[in-house]
Structure 1
Amino acid sequence: MRIRPSRSLVADALIALAQTSVAVLLGQESRAQGWPELDLYGYVLVAVVNLSGALRSRWPVAVCLSVHAVWLVYVTAGYWPVVNSFGPMLAVYTVASLRGPRLSVACAGLMAAVWIYAGVVSGTGSMPAVIGQALVFPAVIWRFGYVARRSAELARQLRKEQAERAKREVAEERGRIARELHDVVAHHMSVISVQAGLASFVFESDKDTARGALSTISGTSAEALEELRRMLRLLRAEDGDDAPDAPMPGLGRLGEMVERVGAGGLPVELRVEGTPRPLAPGVDLCAYRVVQEALTNVLKHARSATRAEVELRYGQDHVTVSVTDDGEGVIPDRVQGGGGHGLIGMRERAKLYGGTISIGPRGKNGGFAVRLDLPTSARSVRRGDDTSA
C-alpha cells in the first residue's frame, strides 16, 4: 500500500516532536556528564536540529545538510554533542532509504566527520573510541537505510510483476472465452443459417421439409442457448461455488453433432474404432471442439461438398479424431495464411493438451482434412509438449 504524502508528513512531524522531547530531557543531564548546561541558545539549536526532521521525507538531502550544519555550530559552541546526535542519525538514515548509494554514503561520511570534529573540539582523551564510533554508527545507520530502500524497490517490483501477471491471466482467460464462444456460436449459427435458407426455399413447395428445417433450427438454437448458459455460469461462479449442473460437451455427444449437421443438408458418417472409454475433461472437450469447428468450416467454406466423414479412434494411450470432406476445400486465404479464429483455436487447443494437429487439403482427389491426435496419459502429454503443432 502506498503511503500518501500528507500521512508521511504527519508521521515525520510526530517523530520530530518526540525526538526533540528526548533531546531536551537528555540536555538537562549535561552538567551531570561534565558539560556546560544548555542555555536558551543551546535549546534553540537542539530544536532546529530535531524539528527539521519533520521535512526529511520531502527534502532528505537538504534536511541532512542543514541538520549537520546546525549540529556543527552546536558542537563548536561547546555543548554536549550527544544531545544533538539523534537528528543527524535520522537524517542519514532517511537519505540512505530514499536516495542512491553514492549520495547517501557521502551523507554518512559527513556525519562521521562532524563526529570526529566533536571529539577534537571537546579535547577528550579517548580519540580511538571516538573514531571507532564515528566509523561504526554512520555505517550501521546507512546500512539500515539501504536495506529499507532495497526492500521498498523489491516491493514495487513485486507489485508490478503481479499486475503484469494479472493482465496476462486476464488476456489468456479472454482468449479461452473467445475460443469457446466462437466454437459454440459459429457451429450452431452455421446450422441455423443453412436450415433457415432451406426452409425459405421450400416453404411453399415442400411443407414437410420446411417443418423439418424449422424443427432443426429450434433444437439447434436451444442447444446453443444451453451451452451459452453453461459458459455464463462458469464465468459467474466464484471460488467455493458448486460446479454448473450442465456437463461439458465431449466425444460422447459426437452422434448428436453428426445428426445436427446431417439435418443441415450435409450427410456425415461417423466411424468409431477401438473401445470407447472416459477421457480427462480437458482432452474430451478439446477433441469435441476440434470436430465441431471442422464440421462448421465444411458447412461455411467447403465448395460443392456432398459428404463428410468423422473418424474417432481410441488407442492405448492416445485418441485420434479426423474430419474429411469431398469438397473443393476452404477459402484459400484461410488455409495458406493460417488466419481465421477457428483454425487458430484448433492449433491452440491441440498445443495446450500436448497433441498434434494437421489441417489442409487431402490431395489430388480434392477435399479437406483435419486430423487431431491427443495423448491420454501424463507421460504421453509430456512427450507431446515437445512435438505439438
Structure 2
Amino acid sequence: MRTRTPRPLVLDTLIALAMTWVAVRLGQVSVARGWPELDASAYVLLALAHLPVAFRSRVPMVVFAAVQLAGVAYISLGYWPVASALGSMLALYTVASVYSAPIAVGCAAVMTAKWVYAGVISDSLSMTLVVSQALLFCLVLVWSGTLARRSRELARQLRAEQAERGRREVAEERGRIARELHDVVAHHLSVISVQAGLARFVLDSDTVTARGALSTIENTSTEALEELRRILHVLREHDLGGADSAAPMPTLARLDDLLERIRAGGVPVELSIKGTVRPLAPGVELCAYRVVQEALTNVLKHTHHADTQVRLHYRQHELTVTVTDNGTGNGDGLMPVTVRAGGGHGLIGMRERAKLYGGTISVGPHTEGGFAVRLTLPTSATGARWRDERTR
C-alpha cells in the first residue's frame, strides 16, 4: 500500500509550529544570558516571526517580508535577536529556491542588514561576530536554495525530455507498424487480386489453372492472416516475455515461397545467390525480405509479365540485394509512374527500412531496360564502419 505524501501546506504548518515552539523556548532562556524577560508583546512578535512560514510555498516573498518586519520589531524592543532568527532563515532559503539569484542575493542583503542592526543597538554583541555570522548564514542559505531550484529545473527538463523521447518512440513504432501493414497487405492482396482475375478468366476453359489460382489465393490469404495476427499480437502484448508465441518474422530463407506466389501470378522470376549464405541479424533479414517483397509486388501490379531477376550477394561485411525487370518503362516495370515521380508508400517504406539498418537503396531505370532496385545492407557494426570508410 502506497504511503500518502503530506501536502505542502500541512507540512509547512507543522514546521512553522515547531519553529515557534523552539523560538519561545530560546526566548525563555535568554534571561540567563542577560537579556530581558519575554512579555506578551515578545510572544506575539515571536509568533509573527515564525507562523507565516506555513505559507512560504505559496507566497514566499510576502512571508519573507512579514518575518523580517516582525524580527526587526522584536529586536527593536531589546530582546535576544537569536530567538527570532529561525523563521527569517527558512524564509530566505525558500526565496532562493524559488526565485533567481539576483532576487535571492537582494533578500540576503536585507537579512544581513537586520543582523547588523541588531548588533548596532545592542552593547553586548560583537559587530565582527555579528557581520561574520550574517554573511556566513546568508551565503549557505542562498547557496542551498539555489541548488534546490536548479535540481527542480533539471528534474522538470528531464521529465520533458523523457516525454519527448516517448513521443518520438511512439511515432517511430507507428511508422514501423505502418510499414509492416503496408508490406503484408499490399503484397498479399496484389497476389490475391491477380490470381482471382486469372481464375475468373479461365474458370470455364481451363479448370486446372483455375484450381491452381484458387489454391494460391487460399495459401496467400492464410499467410496474410498469419502475419496480421503476428502484428496484432505485438500490438496487444504488454509482457515481452509472451512474445515467444508470436509467429516468426519473415527471413531470406522464405524467399522461395514468395517467388512461387509471384510466379503463380504470371511473372517469371529467377533467384540467384552469390557468396556464402550465412545467417544474418533478424532485422537485416527482415529488411532484405521486405524490400524484395515490395519490389516484386510492384512488378506484379505494374508489369506485363516482364522477366524479373532477384540477386543476393553475400559479401564479407554487407549484403547486396538487387531486383531487376525488363519492363518497357511506361508502367511496365518495378516502379509505377507515380512512384518514379517521388511518391508512393512502398518506396518510402523501402528507404526508411534501409536507413533504419544503416543501408542504402537506389531505385531507377536499369541500363539494359526496365527498372532496378538495389539494396546494400551492412551485416554487422564492423561492416557499417567498413562501408562508411569505403565511401569517404
Task: Give the shorter-chain TM-score range.
Answer: over 0.9
Query: Is the CA contact (8 Å cut-off) linking 1:230 and 1:244 kept in structure 2?
Result: no
> How far apart are 1:114 and its partner, in Å?
0.2
Report 1:65-144 matches (<5 A).
65-144=65-144
**Partner in structure 1 of residue 164 of structure 2:** 164
Structure 1 stretches of at least 4 aligned residues deviating more than 4 Å after TM superposition:
385-388
Query: Is the CA contact (8 Å cut-off) linking 2:266 and 2:305 kept in structure 1?
Result: no
Q: Which runs of 5+ in 2 are unaligned?
A: none
Note if 1:381 corresponds to 2:384. yes
Query: Is the CA contact (8 Å cut-off) linking 2:192 and 2:221 kept in structure 1?
Result: yes
The structure-2 alpha-carbon separation of the partners of 1:387 and 1:239, relative to structure 1 and needing over 3 Å to count, comes to farther
Structure 1 letter corresponding to 2:374: R
**Partner in structure 1 of residue 194 of structure 2:** 194
Give the Cα separation in 2 of the matches to 1:152 and 1:276.
Answer: 55
CA-to-partner distance for each residue in 1:50-104, whole Å, 9 max, x for gaps?
A: 1011111111111111111111111101111111100100110110001111111
CA-to-partner distance for each residue in 1:155-198, whole Å, 9 max, x for gaps?
A: 11111111111111111111111111111111111101111122
Give the Cα separation in 2 of the matches to 1:125 and 1:306.
Answer: 104
Please say which of residues 121-130 and 165-174 is displaced more in the overlay: 121-130
Give the Cα separation in 1 of the matches to 2:208 and 2:65.
Answer: 97
Report 1:1-389 matches (<5 A).
7-235=7-235, 236=237, 238-241=239-242, 243-244=244-245, 246-302=247-303, 304-327=304-327, 328=329, 329=333, 330-337=335-342, 339-363=343-367, 365-384=368-387
* SS of the residue 1:310 aligns to: strand
Give the Cα separation in 2 of the matches to 1:131 and 1:272.
Answer: 87
> How far apart are 1:316 and its partner, in Å?
3.2
> How far apart are 1:353 and its partner, in Å?
2.3
Task: Provide the TM-score with structure 1 as the length reference.
Answer: 0.93
Query: Is the CA contact (8 Å cut-off) linking 1:52 and 1:63 kept in structure 2?
Result: yes
* SS of the residue 2:306 aligns to: coil
Query: Is the CA contact (8 Å cut-off) linking 1:96 and 1:149 kept in structure 2?
Result: yes
* SS of the residue 1:347 aligns to: helix
CA-to-partner distance for each residue in 1:244-289, whole Å, 9 max, x for gaps?
A: 4532211111111110011112121222223322222121111111
Q: Alignment length, in residue pairs? A: 382
CA-to-partner distance for each residue in 1:19-40, whole Å, 9 max, x for gaps?
A: 1111111111121111111101
The structure-2 alpha-carbon separation of the partners of 1:95 and 1:125, relative to structure 1 and needing over 3 Å to count, comes to closer
The structure-2 alpha-carbon separation of the partners of 1:262 and 1:110, relative to structure 1 and needing over 3 Å to count, comes to same
Structure 2 letter corresponding to 1:378: A
Please say which of residues 125-134 and 51-60 is displaced more in the overlay: 125-134
Give the Cα separation in 2 of the matches to 1:371 and 1:125.
Answer: 88
Give the Cα separation in 1 of the matches to 2:276 and 2:153.
Answer: 59
Query: Is the CA contact (8 Å cut-off) linking 1:97 and 1:147 kept in structure 2?
Result: yes
> How far apart are 1:387 and its partner, in Å?
7.8
Give the Cα separation in 2 of the matches to 1:64 and 1:161.
Answer: 34
Matched residues, percent identical?
62
Query: Is the CA contact (8 Å cut-off) linking 1:190 and 1:296 kept in structure 2?
Result: yes
Please say which of residues 290-299 and 347-356 is displaced more in the overlay: 347-356
CA-to-partner distance for each residue in 1:294-325, whole Å, 9 max, x for gaps?
A: 001112233x3432221222233332221111
Query: Is the CA contact (8 Å cut-off) linking 1:355 and 1:384 kept in structure 2?
Result: no
> How far apart are 1:210 and its partner, in Å?
2.1
* SS of the residue 2:240 aligns to: coil
CA-to-partner distance for each residue in 1:133-169, whole Å, 9 max, x for gaps?
A: 1111111111111111111111111111111111111
> How far apart are 1:207 and its partner, in Å?
2.6
* SS of the residue 2:369 aligns to: coil
Give the Cα separation in 1 of the matches to 2:138 and 2:87.
Answer: 12
Give the Cα separation in 2 of the matches to 1:312 and 1:102.
Answer: 68
Give the Cα separation in 2 of the matches to 1:325 and 1:311.
Answer: 12
Please say which of residues 13-22 and 262-271 is displaced more in the overlay: 262-271
Give the Cα separation in 1 of the matches to 2:133 and 2:92.
Answer: 15
Give the Cα separation in 2 of the matches to 1:73 and 1:237.
Answer: 64
- How much is the aligned-residue C-alpha RMSD, in angstroms? 2.0
Task: Provide the TM-score with structure 2 as the length reference.
Answer: 0.92
Query: Is the CA contact (8 Å cut-off) linking 2:317 and 2:386 kept in structure 1?
Result: no
Give the Cα separation in 1 of the matches to 2:266 and 2:144.
Answer: 78
Give the Cα separation in 2 of the matches to 1:20 and 1:160.
Answer: 39
> How far apart are 1:44 and its partner, in Å?
0.5
Please say which of residues 42-51 and 170-179 is displaced more in the overlay: 170-179
Q: Which runs of 5+ in 1 are unaligned?
A: none
Give the Cα separation in 2 of the matches to 1:387 and 1:8.
Answer: 62
